[in-house]
Amino acid sequence: MIDGSSRHLLEQRPYPAKLSVVIPIYNEESVVPLLRPEVETFLRHVKCEVEIILVNDGSRDSTLELLVNWAKEDKRVKVLDLSRNFGHQIAATAGLDSATGDAVVLIDADLQDPFDVIHQMIERYTDGYDVVYGQRRTRAGESRFKRLTAWLFYRLMRAIVFKDLPVDTGDFRLVSRNCLDGLKSMRETHRFLRGMVTWVGYPQVAVIYDRNERVAGRSKYPLRKMLSFAWTAATSFSTLPLKFNLLAGLLVGAFAIEEAVRALIAHAMGRTVSGWTSLIVLISVIGSSLLIGLAIIGEYVGKIYEQSKERPLYLVARSFSMDNSGATVKDAPPVISKVHATDAGS
């Protein structure tokens, strides 16, 4: 279980009657043909009804056509076509909102997270755990820099932002219906799902696995997006960046006092000089600290402003699925998922 988490009494539960597998997808036309056989192999070994929810996050290539063809040939597959690219965390949220299973698995499409691990997750689910998250032992195919920054990210998040966040984990996890219902009540605009799942609580446990190399295509998280994601995680779960303003103010204040004492001593000893250099340095330090402080405050104010609009988290343009008569295309109404919504996307 997560270090420092509450103690829960676990009760055995039956194998889920229905399993939902949510897969957000963006510009993965080279991955989908490889993803499909992996999913079909996995489905042959599951002992219950399964629904596969493929969320097309505004792809610009032929990903949507491949997904629709898949849905036409397999009634277990449902495709949600978002009206534009909303980002991975929102696309994952859309899939979770639509899931109807007793247990729901969130997994990426690039096959770095093996589908076989889901069987281990289901075993821990039957042991009574409501959240079973995949914890990476190794990360094949990733650069030393990527591994280092990922290692630092989770340790820093635990140390200064959210102490219960599991290390070396992504969004690959299984959640129970009870946990998912709690998660769906959290409608913040700026989302950090792995932190939100931890915050919801319930019994949680890790399944250790070796992460594979990406099968095709490129990662959708370059360094710029990773830094942005880390900043969103920090500001969504902590006010610590605001407290840095106080620390910066104390440091600048101490520097100002030192400059004032030095100036008084110089004046008393008759060594008064023009002081242009020290004055410029002092103004620059104070000015930069003020601007940094305002920028951090502005980041929080901006998030409050965006949240106060109560816009839907996402809009579903169309959903594709197959009934007994063949493939159907349904126009989906806009999903109302405001702050006060309790069952958005249902």
pLDDT tens digits along 280-301: 666 766 776 677 777 777 767 7
pLDDT for 341 equals 32
CA-to-CA dists, residue 91 to 39, 82, 85, 118, 245, angstroms: 19, 8, 8, 20, 34
* CA quadruple 295, 300, 305, 308: dihedral, nearest 10: 180
Strand, coil or helix: what is 114? coil
Q: How many percent of the chain have pLDDT more than 70? A: 62
pLDDT for 335 equals 46
CATH says 18-238+312-331 is which class? alpha beta
Buried-exposed string 122-158: b where 16+ CB fall within 10 A, e elsewhere? bebbeeebbbbbbbbeebeebeeeeeeebeebeeebb
- Angle, to 10 degrees, between the axis of helix 193-200 and the axis of helix 177-184? 110
Whether 98 contacts 64, CB under 8 Å? no
Report how far residue 119's alpha carbon sits from residue 106's, in angstroms, rounded to the nearest whole number: 13
What Rg, from alpha-carbon coordinates, does the chain have? 25
pLDDT for 187 equals 82
Which residue stretches of 83-222 are H helix? 88-98, 117-126, 144-156, 177-184, 193-200
Whether 211 contacts 136, CB under 8 Å? yes
Mean pLDDT on 175-199: 84
pLDDT tens track for 110-125? 888 899 899 999 989 9
pLDDT tens track for 27-55? 988 889 999 999 999 998 888 999 999 99
Q: Is pLDDT at 189 greater than 90 in this prediction?
A: no
Question: Could you tell me the residue ranges of all domains in the chain?
Answer: 18-238+312-331, 240-308
Confidence grade of residue 73 (pLDDT, cut at 50, 70, 90): confident
CA-to-CA dists, residue 298 to 242, 291, 292, 294, 301, angstroms: 10, 10, 10, 6, 5
